[in-house]
Amino acid sequence: MAENTGQRRRFIKGAVTMLASAAALPAARAFSPDIADAAAASTAMAAREKPVQRMQGFALNQVRLLDSDFATAAATNRRYLHSLPVDRLAHSFRLQAGRPSHAEPLGGWESPDCELRGHFSGGHYLSAAALTYASDGDTLLKQRADALVAELAACQQPNGYLSAFPESFFDRLSNGQKVWAPFYTIHKIQAGLLDMYRHTGNQQALNVATGIGDWVVRWLNGFSDAQMSHILKTEFGGINDSMYELYAITGNGRYLDAAHRFDQASLYDPLAAHRDELKGLHSNTQIPKIIGAARRYEITGEPRYRRIAEFFWETVSENRTYATGGSSNDEFWKTGPGNLKGQLGLYAAECCVAYNLLKLTRHVYAWNGDPRAFDYYERTLYNARLGTQDGTGMKLYYYPLQAGANKFYNSPFKSFWCCTGTGAEEFARFNENIYFHEGQDLYVNLFIPSELRWPEQQLTLRQETSFPASR
């Protein structure tokens, strides 16, 4: 287990010029027809501030992993992504669109009869492939991901709807009938497409993601706030986050308004008032919603959303995580804050929870530069993330904390759990958060062998370390 190293955080302040000489050698609107809501939106606009973005990260292609456990794990993950044929990934989408497919179906959560089908094959896979290409320039993987984007574009309906399951799933959602998280899956697909645009420049991916956004806007139109509160009781992933990202790219205010409709008052209101009322909630359902709140703050400057995200991060990281940095037991927070007695079970610490908490940590750290954020990040990365993959690229669902428990990994083509997808993304972005800068001040926040290229400062920095084995 990696110990807390915050007191040893490497900070190079005001020294970029010296280092370079040596190292460089080799208008948001509330979407509601109600006048009261419009007045509330005006109040919110008046309360805005300029979003704080103190710490800046580096592009993935500026940081190269050197020989280490992280580089080895990233290469293993990349090989697994290469092993997945495009025709099998596209199979259920083609069937749903009425197009012929003779590929062998994938199994598990991607099987043709699973209601969550498409979340990995059309979502996580694209994100992981895009991140891998941006990190190490794997052009073959990019070509495969480009081919999958083209397949998805061919399967998209004229109204913008795209999924591997029928649109009638959303009728079940709006009618209060049981259905397994359709917006969760749409979020993964839209996020994967946006990652392909952002990290590989695939314009077709943006076009398809925009079509999905248009469909979301139209679907939401006409539902009252009361109806939405019932709809939001079904897990919807981070669809607010991907719609905010679509707005950030396109500037189309309809996507901003639509994202805002996924505000869940029962979750957000207590957090905004600094109250932890998370007991009894499904852990990973909540974290993407908070990441969406963080993204809203960064786009609009509304301080309420920063309060929500920062307090949530504070209470979960301080009061609801184990020594490993992981959180949850059997996917839920079953106790009050600060009380983890009896929670070290076989199904403790769902891997998706740790993944999404690290994503949220990056947002919070960028605002305040608090070293506690990367103390937590480091602890979780080493203890609850790096060890969740085996030598063939298979991932865990849970990181068991019960004494004497064994790890249980997915299969190559018959599982595709949520944690299979988030794991594929995680292991493609190990180089993302090692370095940050504040103006010309450079921060080294993770002890991972790597090389940073910062051409604006004429700096190349090479970090060699065997941490945590030695110091």
Quick one: tokens of 119?
């979340």
Percentage above 90 pLDDT, the chain: 88
Q: Which letter does DSSP use for residue 434 in this model?
A: S
- Before 33, cis peptide (omega within 30)? no
Q: Which of 356, 465, 392 is nearest to 72 (CA)?
A: 392
Return d(Cα 179, Cα 373) in angstroms, integer: 37
Task: Note the pTM of the prediction, 2 decimals.
Answer: 0.91
Instruction: Specify the pLDDT at position 48.
Output: 77
List phi, psi (to 5°) of 454: -125, 80
Q: What is the pLDDT of residues 154-209, one digit of tens each?
A: 999 999 999 999 999 999 999 999 999 999 999 999 999 999 999 999 999 999 99
| Residue 47, pLDDT score | 65
The radius of gyration of the chain from alpha carbons, rounded to an integer in Å, stands at 22
| DSSP structure class, residue 120 | I
Q: Residue 393 contacts by C-beta under 8 Å, 6 or more apart in sequence?
A: 76, 77, 79, 80, 81, 83
| Residue ranges of E strands in 228-311 | none
Question: What percent of the chain shows pLDDT beyond 70?
Answer: 90
Question: What is the amino acid identity at position 142?
Answer: K
Greatest Cα pair distance, the chain, in angstroms, is 65
- Torsion of Cα atoms, 435 then 7 then 439 then 70, to 10°: 0
